[in-house]
């Protein structure tokens, strides 16, 4: 038997496998929507990283993002 924990959202409690990092809303989504386990292609992941880096740099220059946080985003 798999260990579970009880997570709660606006719809009430729901059981989530104890080894999962998500909460109630994600668990409900798994039951309500066709969600696959396929990974994104690496070029898509790379493109998202480029966009996030550009946004972090721009928002830092505009004074909207803490430079320490921007550096963490850029390093990721």
Residuewise pLDDT in 10s, the chain (76 residues)? 789 999 999 999 999 999 999 999 999 999 898 888 888 899 999 999 999 999 999 999 999 999 999 999 999 8
Nearest C-alpha neighbor of 11 from the set 29, 30, 25: 25
C-alpha 50/C-alpha 72 separation (Å) is 14
pTM of the model as a whole: 0.55
Structure tokens at 14: 């729901």
DSSP character at residue 32: H
- For residue 37, what is the enclosing H or E element? none
């Amino acid at each position: 038997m798999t260990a579970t924990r009880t997570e709660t959202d606006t719809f009430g409690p729901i059981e989530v496998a104890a080894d999962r990092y998500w909460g109630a809303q994600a668990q409900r989504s798994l039951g309500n929507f066709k969600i696959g386990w396929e990974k994104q292609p690496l070029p898509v992941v790379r493109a998202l990283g480029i966009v996030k880096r550009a946004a972090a740099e721009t928002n830092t220059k505009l004074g909207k993002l803490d430079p320490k946080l921007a550096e963490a985003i850029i390093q990721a």
